[in-house]
Structure 1
Amino acid sequence: MPEFQFVYPTPTEMLEHHRLHPDLKVFRPAHLQHRALIGITQIADGSVGTVLCGEEVVCYATLHPPDHYQRFGEATVSGMLELGAVESAPEHRSQRLARRLLEVMLPEESFQQNIIIATLYHWHYDLENTGLSTYAYRRLLEKLYSRVGFEVMKTDDPEISSYPGNALMVRMGREVPEELCLEFERLRFLRQTRGLDLSQH
């Protein structure tokens, strides 16, 4: 059995010296994803968890502020993070590397002052390699993320609500400031609250 090393957070220099497994290409070709991961390690509040096997990254997960072009990237209160890309090389999936990596990255006592979101979009699902249906893959991800404290929440974000194979999952820290909770709720149902004076409701 191959030996795996779980590293979180992965330093930029370490990531630069470990190539991505060529089959880590669900989001973009592996060499381009490698470049994107290096970029995440260099931004404020950005971090990458990796599973190393020899000189290769065979599994990774990213944690960073929501992208500015997404609804939750419009937050005006700091403290919201996104569990972004999570990917494991197909040949190693029987080792449950993604589950083990998330448990390293997100132990129960961590990030208690943060709200962490995870957006499940069906166009990112690796249906080809798994043979699963869209809905079975969504259930697989829900089970994976729920192991580290995430739960499904409703939203009127059309990117998510327009297709039942998509979902918003959220991990709410026990010590999240009230102002961040209010901002999250505002963004979660933005179409209902836009233009309203929330102080009167």
Structure 2
Amino acid sequence: ISLHETGRYLFPGTGEVLELGNGLGRGYAVNMPLEPFTEDASYIEVIEHLLPPLVVSFAPDVIVSQHGCDTHAWDPLTHLELTMRGIQAQVKMAHHLAHSYCQGRWVALGGGGYDPYRVVPRAWSIVWAEMAEQPLPEHLPEAWIARWRPAWLAMEEREMAAQQLMGKAPAETDFPTTFQDRPGAFPAQERQWEIARANRRTASLVRSLLVPPEVRQAFPALRQRSPLSGLFDLLHLQGSATPSRSKTLETPAGPVLLRDFCPPSLVERLKADAGLYAFARLPEREHALLLGISRRPDCALTLAHTPAGDIIGEVTVAPGDTWWEGLENVYEVAIEVSATWRRQKIARHMLAFALELDALEDLIFFAVGLAWHWDTEGTGISIYRYREMIARLFASQGFKEYPTTEPNIGMEPANIFLARVGSRVDPRVVSQFFNRMLSSPNLAGL
């Protein structure tokens, strides 16, 4: 996973979103190109939005992080304008991910950094302090300042010229005396909201490309809509009894219980079947994702589980991601069945059960099938056969395939976009939905 300034303005011009890797490595290269002059707030928003779901999807055994500090506003190499606050947030995120998903296994490396007196020593000290779980003092050692400030003064004029060459706004030029940069030391970018908006769009594109739907839904998108417009509230307004309904499904392998609008209390009592790993790679992490989805007021979770409490299938419903931002009552549907319970027609019954409430006729549902997320190895079929299987499954519940300019679909001929428009959806909303479906992506990083 690489976060860096976009190559549109900086040598060597690579590292764009669609550089995903090749062959068996496709999908294992993640590039997040940041807009020039990105500041702390936007950078922190991006890493909080992207890194946790990506790590859950990959399920690493160890976090290896490289902490280059050429992102700092004083560094002459890039146009980025982070302070030590942004750099520290990056380090803390790596620490958090290591303890959350890798049992604390973490290797931290240094990286680029070309202001050797004011930036690099402080940045690497922050990394060491975080790894050692030691408090960071406010002030730099006076002896260190006395030793290195003269060396910096000797090259100050050259550094200021490099700053101007990169188009960075003038900042205070004195030698730092604290580990953190002084508030107000760097003038705020006039275009900061425009820059943040562009970074947000790029991060959302990366999420939709590389993070499976269930994982995305467990980690809410940026600028999430108010829960007042959520699915639970809509159903309650329509008088539906939620939560939750149950149904018993008889299969050749034994009875299966279907439950919709599953509350966290139910999910906590269940465990994920060993074959439920397609999206989070490990059953225990899949269970954690489902628990997170069940806690979101704007999502709906339908589960299939055995009488013994093993979750063997799931249907998740969540608001559409950033591509659909601003549209009313548009929800993404995703489905998974345990590898050990396939060919029992569980998916068809589960999807029908999840979407059969009359109140859902007020909603638009869509499903996105991306070939690189499909378990073609486990099923033993080609991506085109898998595509046909998905199309038939969703067609059984009134979904139709539509052409779309949604960025992910055009990346692979087998990818598929399906939608179901409820019979009572306002025609204005339907028109907006189809217009958005064929709108120009206009996303940074393509």
Output the CA distance in 2 between the equivalents of 1:110 and 1:59: 23
- Please state how far the C-alpha of 1:64 moved relative to its aligned partner: 0.9
Unaligned runs of 5+ in 1: 195-201
- The counterpart of 2:328, out of the listed 78, 87, 90, is 78
User: 1:16 is matched with which residue?
Assistant: 268
- The counterpart of 2:418, out of the listed 146, 169, 180, is 169
Where 1:95 maps in the other structure, the secondary structure is coil
Runs of 4+ in 1 over 2 A off after TM superposition: none
User: 1:65 is matched with which residue?
Assistant: 319
Do 1:120 and 1:166's aligned partners in 2 also have CA atoms closer than 8 Å?
A: yes
Output the CA distance in 2 between the equivalents of 1:109 and 1:123: 34
Do 1:108 and 1:148's aligned partners in 2 also have CA atoms closer than 8 Å?
A: no
Q: What is the letter of the counterpart of residue 59 of structure 1?
A: G
- Please state how far the C-alpha of 1:9 moved relative to its aligned partner: 1.7
Do 1:77 and 1:179's aligned partners in 2 also have CA atoms closer than 8 Å?
A: no
User: 1:160 is matched with which residue?
Assistant: 409
**Deviations along 1:176-196, whole A, 9 cap, x unmatched?**
11332132123211218x7xx
Output the CA distance in 2 between the equivalents of 1:108 and 1:41: 18
User: 1:46 is matched with which residue?
Assistant: 299
User: 1:197 is matched with which residue?
Assistant: none
- The counterpart of 2:396, out of the listed 147, 159, 166, is 147
- Please state how far the C-alpha of 1:45 moved relative to its aligned partner: 2.6
Q: How does 1:98-177 map to 2 (within 5 A)?
A: 98-107=347-356, 109-177=358-426
Output the CA distance in 1 between the equivalents of 2:358 and 2:426: 16
**Deviations along 1:159-186, whole A, 9 cap, x unmatched?**
1022111011000111111332132123
**Quick check: 1:7 aligned with 2:256?**
no
- The counterpart of 1:31, out of the listed 268, 284, 288, is 284
More moved, 127-136 vs 43-52: 43-52
Output the CA distance in 1 between the equivalents of 2:402 and 2:409: 11
- Please state how far the C-alpha of 1:96 moved relative to its aligned partner: 1.1
More moved, 150-159 vs 108-117: 108-117
- Please state how far the C-alpha of 1:11 moved relative to its aligned partner: 1.6
Do 2:263 and 2:295's aligned partners in 1 also have CA atoms closer than 8 Å?
A: no
Unaligned runs of 5+ in 2: 1-252
Do 2:329 and 2:363's aligned partners in 1 also have CA atoms closer than 8 Å?
A: yes
Alpha carbon RMSD of aligned pairs, Å?
1.6
- Matched pairs, number: 188
Output the CA distance in 1 between the equivalents of 2:357 and 2:399: 11
Output the CA distance in 1 between the equivalents of 2:339 and 2:359: 29
Do 1:40 and 1:46's aligned partners in 2 also have CA atoms closer than 8 Å?
A: yes
Q: 1:179 to 1:151 in 2, by over 3 A?
A: same
- Please state how far the C-alpha of 1:110 moved relative to its aligned partner: 4.4
Higher CA-based Rg: 2
Where 1:10 maps in the other structure, the secondary structure is coil
Do 1:77 and 1:180's aligned partners in 2 also have CA atoms closer than 8 Å?
A: yes
Output the CA distance in 1 between the equivalents of 2:411 and 2:309: 41
Output the CA distance in 2 between the equivalents of 1:77 and 1:130: 36
Q: Which has the higher relative contact order, 1 or 2, with Cα contacts under 8 A spaced 6 or more apart? A: 1
